[in-house]
Amino acid sequence: MIKKKLLKFRAKARIRKGKNVLNKNIKNFFDWIKGAEIVELKKCETEKDPVRPELDNEFRTSYGRKIYGVRYKDEIHAVMCFAFTNKIPTSVNELDLFSRDAFLQSATRDQNVGKIAIAYTVWSNKKGGGKLIVKEVFKKIKKSNHLNRLVTLSPLTDMARNFHLNNGAEEIQVNEETQNFEYKL
């Protein structure tokens, strides 16, 4: 009888300890998100990019292209790269051509590069970072006065498809090597 009570007491103690650990982990998870900020980067560690590691920093920052990161405690935990175009690309080659064209057109007009923000890679080193950067960049683009669409140039993987659909995007086309999703502004 005493042995049963002791076992029940230990089981309840383990459950309480487990709940405390879980609550602490959840609190730590949300603390990092609350303290994170989105920043524009001059470069990123391209070898860590699981989607397009072959694209160097010069590609990612030339012709009006940008790199954004989620910074928390002086560390970058998520990265998203953009090109600004006037058409939706179906390949990295088209992305390059369309963003060059939009950049050159803007040089003779109002300096606003393109009407469509094309997210062509996103990755995260910390749980929740990918979703956070999509949300924060979405807000930034929504506030811009010249961008009217946020579209992805994603690889043909279930992971990319599920990520974008779970974050509120709509599939707009499937191409030979890529797929495009749009986040409605």
Predicted TM-score of the model (pTM): 0.78
**How do the domains of the chain map onto residue ranges?**
1-35, 38-183
The pLDDT score that the predictor gives to residue 12 is 65
List Cβ neighbours of 132 (8 Å cut-off, separation of 6 or more): 33, 36, 70, 78
C-alpha distances (whole Å) from 31 to each of 20, 26, 37 are 16, 9, 12
pLDDT, one tens digit per residue, over 51-72 is 999 999 999 999 989 999 999 8
The pLDDT score that the predictor gives to residue 113 is 76
Q: Which two tokens stand for residue 140?
A: 């930034």
CATH number assigned to the domain with residue range 38-183, chosen from the 4 options 3.40.50.1980, 3.40.630.150, 3.40.50.970, 3.40.605.10: 3.40.630.150
Give the Cα separation of 67 and 73 in Å (integer): 19
For the chain, list residues with pLDDT below 50. Answer: 26-27
